[in-house]
Each structure stands twice: as C-alpha cells, then as structure tokens.
Amino acid sequence: MCVNRRYPRYIRELEWFYTTDELCALALELRETRLWKGVGKLKRHAPIWDRYVFKGGSEPGVRNLTYALRHKKNQGWYCISVTWNNPRKEIKGRRLMQLVRRLTRLLGNMER
C-alpha cells in the first residue's frame, strides 16, 4: 500500500515564522554582501532588474518567495515577499510564481 505523504503537517508549529516584512528587511540587508545574484530566474525582466537577492522555500502546505531587486535604471532596491500557507492541502507553486512574476513586472514598470 502506498501512502501519499505530501500533505501539510505541523506548519503552524514548525518553520516559516518570519513575516514578509522581516524577510524583506533581511533580503535588503544582504544586498550589500556578495550573496546577490544576476537576474537569473528573472531573466524575462532583465531590462528592468539587474541584481537580486532571493530567499524562498516550500514544503507541503507552505510556499515562500522573497526577492530584493535592484532596478536597472534608477539603481533603487525594492522587495517583494509572498508567503502562502494552506494547512489542509498541497499548494501549487506555479500559481505563486506567476503572481510574483507579475508583481516584479508591475513594480519595475512603475519606477521607470
């Protein structure tokens, strides 16, 4: 008998206690280190962003994506952090990534 173990367990008791504000503060603090990356996964938005710091993770019922992004034209740093928890079922990460991609595009275009 095969048991599906991909369901949320203890998400209120273990991990993911940082708020999105705290995650952004940490990502923005790390922007001064050598931990930043080139546009990489966000290459679709290369005309807008030239550097980023990323923290994300997942487990059943939990998804997080946090980006500190440097705008290519004005050199300003911005942060997007999204956490989605569902204690009852697995979360589809693709939907969250689509949302974050839209947010990065909208934010970048507002600051041109």
Tell me the three-class secondary structure of 25-46, residue by residue: HHHHHHCCCCCCECCHHHHHHC
Q: What is the pLDDT of residue 85?
A: 85
* Assigned token pair, 23: 């995650």
Tens of pLDDT along 47-84? Answer: 788 888 888 888 888 888 898 998 988 899 999 999 88
Q: Is there a contact between 53 and 44 (Cβ–Cβ < 8 Å)?
A: no
